[in-house]
Amino acid sequence: MEEITTSEELQVTAFEIILNSGNARTLIHEAFAAMRLKDFETADQKLTEANDSILIAHQSQTKLLKEYAGGKKIEMEIIMVHAQDHLMTTMTLLEVAKEMEFLYQDRH
């Protein structure tokens, strides 16, 4: 018999992704503020913390993907679509922030 992920389980995973990627987004914006002040030590620290939060969000996502690959049926919900969107845009923002830090350091 095929196992099924409940709506509640999926929502918990979605909110874990949203929470951790949201924390990362906040840290990235704090890093941008530090860059503008030429405080690159703080910017580095914030970007490292942001990356750590993204990794936690990604682990939640990976757990769900492993369950799916193992045959567990997952009914997709809009909250998970939102969570995935949140995570992917935050991952992209982190990449941009790292490049911006390089540019700030190079020009100032």
Domain that holds residue 38: 7-107
Q: Known binding site: residues?
A: 85
Q: Known binding site for Mg(2+): residues?
A: 85
What distance in Å separates the CA atoms of residue 8 and residue 95, rounded to the nearest whole number?
Answer: 32
108 residues of the chain, pLDDT tens digit each = 467 778 898 999 999 999 999 999 999 999 999 999 999 999 999 999 999 999 999 999 999 999 989 988 888 899 999 999 999 999 999 999 999 999 999 765
How far CA 96 is from CA of 1, 5, 38, 72, 91, in Å, comes to: 45, 35, 17, 36, 9
Give the CATH number for residue 46. 1.20.58.80
Give catalytic residue positions.
82
Number of domains in the chain: 1
